[in-house]
């Protein structure tokens, strides 16, 4: 089980606003912040996503679990409204498996941020 993920960003203030808005539909809230970056708590209150300042950033792909397909769509809409770039609108991805419903957005540093639901409906 993964305890937490740290993502390097070039502009912490901007990234903090993006992630706060984009992940709100999935139950995330800003939990910690300081000159070292910011930490986001999941719906259970666990701080499992952190952003920290980096001069050079290598883009990563992070996928967040969504309880239903509506939350995948809400994530996508919130992320786009917060300045994210479309990298795959909400929809089925049967090449992964028949019920894989995901959406992909690139943040300002090119990180591929995804929300995914694996349930057959909903």
Sheet hosting strand 37-41, strand order edge to edge: 5-9, 47-53, 37-41, 29-34
Question: Confidence class of residue 1 from pLDDT cuts 50, 70 and 90?
Answer: confident
Question: What residue spans define the domains of the chain?
Answer: 5-117
Is 105 in contact with 86 (CB distance < 8 Å)?
Answer: yes
Strands 91-92, 101-106: parallel, antiparallel or unpaired by DSSP?
antiparallel
pLDDT digits 0-9 by tens, 19-35 = 999 999 999 999 999 98
pTM of the full predicted structure? 0.94
Residue with tokens 């502009």: 11
In tens, the pLDDT along 11-20 reads 999 999 999 9
In the structure, what pLDDT confidence band is assigned to residue 122 with cuts at 50, 70 and 90? Answer: low
What secondary structure letter does DSSP report for 110? -
pLDDT tens readout for residues 72-107: 999 999 999 999 999 999 999 999 999 999 999 999
Element (H, E) at 29: strand 29-34
Domain 5-117 has CATH 3.10.180.10: yes
């Amino acid at each position: 089980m993964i305890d937490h993920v740290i993502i390097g960003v070039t502009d912490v203030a901007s990234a903090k606003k993006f992630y706060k808005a984009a992940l709100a539909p999935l139950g995330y809230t800003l939990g910690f912040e300081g000159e070292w970056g910011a930490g986001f708590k999941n719906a259970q209150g666990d701080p499992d996503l952190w952003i920290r300042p980096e001069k050079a950033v290598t883009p990563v792909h992070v996928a967040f679990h969504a309880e239903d397909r509506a939350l995948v769509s809400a994530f996508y809409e919130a992320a786009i409204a917060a300045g994210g770039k479309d990298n795959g609108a909400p929809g089925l991805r049967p090449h992964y498996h028949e019920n894989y419903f995901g959406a992909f957005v690139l943040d300002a540093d090119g990180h591929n941020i995804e929300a995914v639901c694996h349930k057959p409906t909903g």
